[in-house]
Amino acid sequence: MVCQSDHEIHSAQSARIAVLGRLASGVAHDFNNVLQIITANGTLILASPEDLVRVCQCVQRILDAAERASSISGRLLSFTRYETCETCRLDISSVFASIQELVEPLLPNNIILQTVIGSALPIVAADPAEFETVLINLIVNARDAMITGGIVTISANIVSILDHAVLIAGDYVKISVLDTGIGMEASLIPQVTEPFFTTKPKGAGSGLGLSLACEFVKQAHGTLEIISTPNVSTEVSIWLPVVSPEP
């Protein structure tokens, strides 16, 4: 029998506390994104309470954000139970329509949001709430990378894969978030998908957004790719496999 010294026990406890702290930081980061949506839409309601159409739209966004908050807590519970997310048939086009309205209040006036979506996109299989959370995180990351403003372009189109290092041959929907921000060195790209790694200033990021995106595409049998050029742009793309039409 090997007994641990007090120093070893203290070091192990410190390591566990550090991991829990980073996990809590990541959850807080995701919830903060949701709270920004709720706060922004609540502010819009207070600014024009007599505009019933606008009020109803804002209330719906708040309810959608609350549902996303529920999915975050559910994801945390599934993580502790080693469960997988629920997948179903997902229409990317409909998600894009709601996401654009949802994130616009989060973007300052010096950032332009563009949407480029292919016609008649096929259906994919993925967890809808998880996909929306991933997409919001990618857009928020793009916003944070453009300190002086710029353009965020979210796009989706169908791509046929014949030979790929990770993906099996077939049709995929490629969803990309492109920003005109500060970019990053090529040497950093493999690291940014690691849990708790972040290029943001201390306290500005959890380092979990991209790692959770990787876990999402892995469960959906897709992949994630990052292309970045310092002081020019960063593009994060995810590929989700097309599913056969229902009979």
pLDDT computed for residue 177 by the predictor: 96
Q: Which fold has domain 88-241?
A: Heat Shock Protein 90 (3.30.565)
Q: 6-80 and 88-241: same fold?
A: no
Q: Are 152 and 112 in contact (CB under 8 A)?
A: yes
Contacts with 61 (C-beta within 8 Å, 6 or more apart), sequence order? 37, 41, 101, 102
CA proximity to 126, closest of 202, 216, 224? 216
- Could you list the pLDDT tens digit for every one of the 247 residues in the chain? 334 444 444 454 454 545 455 555 566 667 777 888 888 888 888 888 888 888 898 888 888 887 777 766 665 554 454 445 556 788 888 888 878 877 887 888 999 999 998 888 888 988 887 888 889 889 988 998 898 999 999 999 999 988 888 888 899 999 999 999 999 888 888 888 776 666 665 555 555 678 778 888 888 889 999 999 999 999 999 999 998 766 5
Domain ranges (residues) in the chain: 6-80, 88-241
As a whole number of angstroms, the distance between CA 113 and CA 100 comes to 8
pLDDT computed for residue 64 by the predictor: 80
pLDDT computed for residue 57 by the predictor: 87
Q: Which CATH class is domain 6-80?
A: mainly alpha
SS3 percent helix, strand, coil of the chain, rounded to 5, is 50, 20, 30
Question: Model-level pTM greater than 0.85?
Answer: no
